Amino acid sequence: MGFAFDETMTGTFERIDAPGDRHPFQFRARVEAHSMLDHLRTGRAEMSGTVEAPGLARGAEFHGEMVLRPVLGRVIRYRFEFTGDDGKQYAFTGHKDIRWTDLLESWTYLPGEVRDGRGRLVATCQTHFDLGKDWLSFLSSFRPA
């Protein structure tokens, strides 16, 4: 048996070809580790959901992986792939550096980037988990999987 939970990260993205022009960026993810034993060994969990990034992807489904190593590795990594509105493939990557001296910021802030199918940087992203708005739904989403 494993576990699952839902998470929403919200913020902005800035295209490399339009510096200073920020747009809304949000992804809603369902994270699932099918085996607690495997998860404890690797830290890996499957991740799927939708990404909203006007001008890049509107409601695009994504699939990827989260690596949860907040205690021993002091990191939570996100990686997912999606198809943009232009029909091209993109990948989002980001990671939270967990700092025990700044738990609130390090657990809620997620910087990231979007690259195209060739690996070229397309945009940078700044996202946060909104504690005030999403904490209760996040906590109540934890379940066995």
pLDDT at 142: 92
> Where does residue 103 fall: left (phi above 0), alpha (psi -120 to 50 degrees), or beta otherwise?
alpha
pLDDT tens per residue, range 106-121: 999 999 999 999 999 9
Contact 31, 47 (CB under 8 A): yes
| Nearest-angstrom CA–CA distance, 16 and 21 | 9
What's the rounded mean pLDDT across residues 24-38?
93
User: Which residues are paired to 71 by β-bridges?
Assistant: none
**Structural domains of the chain ordered from first start:** 3-134 (2.40.128)
Average pLDDT of the chain to the nearest whole number = 94
Beta strands 89-97 and 75-83, pairing class: antiparallel
**pLDDT (tens digit per residue) in 76-111:** 999 999 999 999 999 999 999 999 899 889 999 999
62 class by beta-carbon count within 10 Å (0-12 exposed, 13-18 middle, 19+ buried) = buried
pLDDT, average across residues 29-51: 91
Interval 55-73 mean pLDDT = 92
